[in-house]
Amino acid sequence: MADTKVAGTHHQLGSTMVQIQNVHKYYGSLHVLRGVDLDVRSGEVVCVIGPSGSGKTTLLRCINFLETYQEGRILVDGDLVGYRDRNGKLVPARESEIARVRAETAMVFQQFNLFPHMTALRNVTFGPTKVRGVSKAIAEKRGLELLDRVGLSDKAKSYPNQLSGGQQQRVAIARALAMEPKVMLFDEVTSALDPELVGEVLAVMRDLAERERVTMIVVTHEMQFAREVADRVVFMDDGVIVEEGPAANLISNPQSDRLRSFLSRFADSGHLTRSQGADQLSAKS
């Protein structure tokens, strides 16, 4: 972890992995997503920022079809999410197809959502064994490797209620990784954590971004993280993407008034710096 990198320039990005085309979503009469367009390339790290109610979480949940959308298209590696295209119209896809696409997009939640009746290791191996048909032995071997990578190999047999919030979230990340997804979705994963636990989780995410080159779409309030780790930052407000661009530019040099006023709410003090995150990871708590 010695070299310092400027985010966005250190690796080649692959083909387009996620395509969001003119997506509209309504909650009853509430127009929550008003024509969102976004392409995410393989290996890219995109951070989505914006005020609450802007639709960023909804957009994320649409990508793995935890929410439906009414117009537009969402494609993950060429597969249409949630629907089938019948002559230009969206027709609900079969349950098995939906499940298949969901397996390719792994999500980490704000509330962790670990399965409380399973150990950390079982949480991690459950997806691969049930969905991908991996044998239990192999799944456990890989699971232990993943838990080791997030610094929790000694907690494999622990239950979620025996772990701290930060530990639970790291297990959740391992669980998502175990599915070997094409895209990882992070939904404000540090917002529910005590401040001192935020760093360990961000460090893991940073590791995924820089070492593994996992395609990541991260909804977050952690501006420091966005600035240092993301390739691109997308600013959403009121159901549309207002501004997007290279992380460094967008945050230090916002073009639109809305983004400017949004960013002004974030003071720079108290946020985790890069080196603190790296230390926590290598210490393997």
Partner 1 sequence: MDVVWENRALLWIGLKYTFKLFAVVVVLGTVLGTLFGIGLLYGNKVIRAVLRAYVDVLRGIPLIVTIFLVFYGPVAYGVDLSPFQSIVMALSVFSAAHMAEIVRGGISSIPAGQMDAAKSLGLTFRQRILGVIMPQAAPIMMGPWTNLAVDIFKSTSLAILVSQADFLFSVQKRATAKGHYMEFYIAAIIVYFTCCFVISRAGAWATRRMRVGIAS
Query: 1 or 66, CB closer to partner 1?
Result: 66
Question: Residue from 8, 55, 82, 127 that binds partner 1 (CB under 8 A)?
Answer: 127
User: In the bound complex, what is the minimum distance in angstroms from residue 195's beta carbon to partner 1?
Assistant: 22
End-to-end CA distance of the chain: 18
Binding part of the chain for partner 1, among 10-18, 47-55, 113-121, 260-268 by CB under 8 A, reads 113-121
Using rule CB under 8 A, residue 104 touches partner 1: yes
Q: Note whether 184 and 195 are within 8 A (CB).
A: no
Query: 17 or 281, CB closer to partner 1?
Result: 17
Query: 70 or 162, CB closer to partner 1?
Result: 162
Query: 75 or 118, CB closer to partner 1?
Result: 118
Query: 98 or 144, CB closer to partner 1?
Result: 98
Using rule CB under 8 A, residue 201 touches partner 1: no
Site mask for partner 1 (CB under 8 A), range 66-85, x = bound = x-------------------
Task: Say how far apart CA 239 and CA 233 lie, in whole Å.
Answer: 16
Using rule CB under 8 A, residue 106 touches partner 1: yes
User: In the bound complex, what is the minimum distance in angstroms from residue 189's beta carbon to partner 1?
Assistant: 13
Binding part of the chain for partner 1, among 21-29, 61-69, 248-256, 276-284 by CB under 8 A, reads 61-69
Question: Residue from 21, 42, 113, 285 that binds partner 1 (CB under 8 A)?
Answer: 113
Question: Contacts with partner 1 in 129-188 (CB under 8 A)?
Answer: 130-131, 159, 161-162, 172, 175-176, 179, 185
SS3 of the chain: CCCCCCCCCCCCCCCEEEEEEEEEEEECCEEEEEEEEEEEECCCEEEEECCCCCCHHHHHHHHCCCCCCCEEEEEECCEECCEEEECCEEEECCHHHHHHHHHHEEEECCCCCCCCCCCHHHHHHHHHHHHCCCCHHHHHHHHHHHHHHCCCHHHCCCCHHHCCHHHHHHHHHHHHHHCCCCEEEEECCCCCCCHHHHHHHHHHHHHHHHHHCCCEEEECCCHHHHHHHCCEEEEEECCEEEEEEEHHHHHHCCCCHHHHHHHHCCCCCCCCCHHHHHHHHHHCC
User: In the bound complex, what is the minimum distance in angstroms from residue 28's beta carbon to partner 1?
Assistant: 16
Query: 114 or 198, CB closer to partner 1?
Result: 114
Provide the 10 A C-beta neighbour count for residue 94: 9
Residues forming the site for partner 1 (CB under 8 A)? 64-66, 95-96, 99-107, 109, 111-118, 126-127, 130-131, 159, 161-162, 172, 175-176, 179, 185
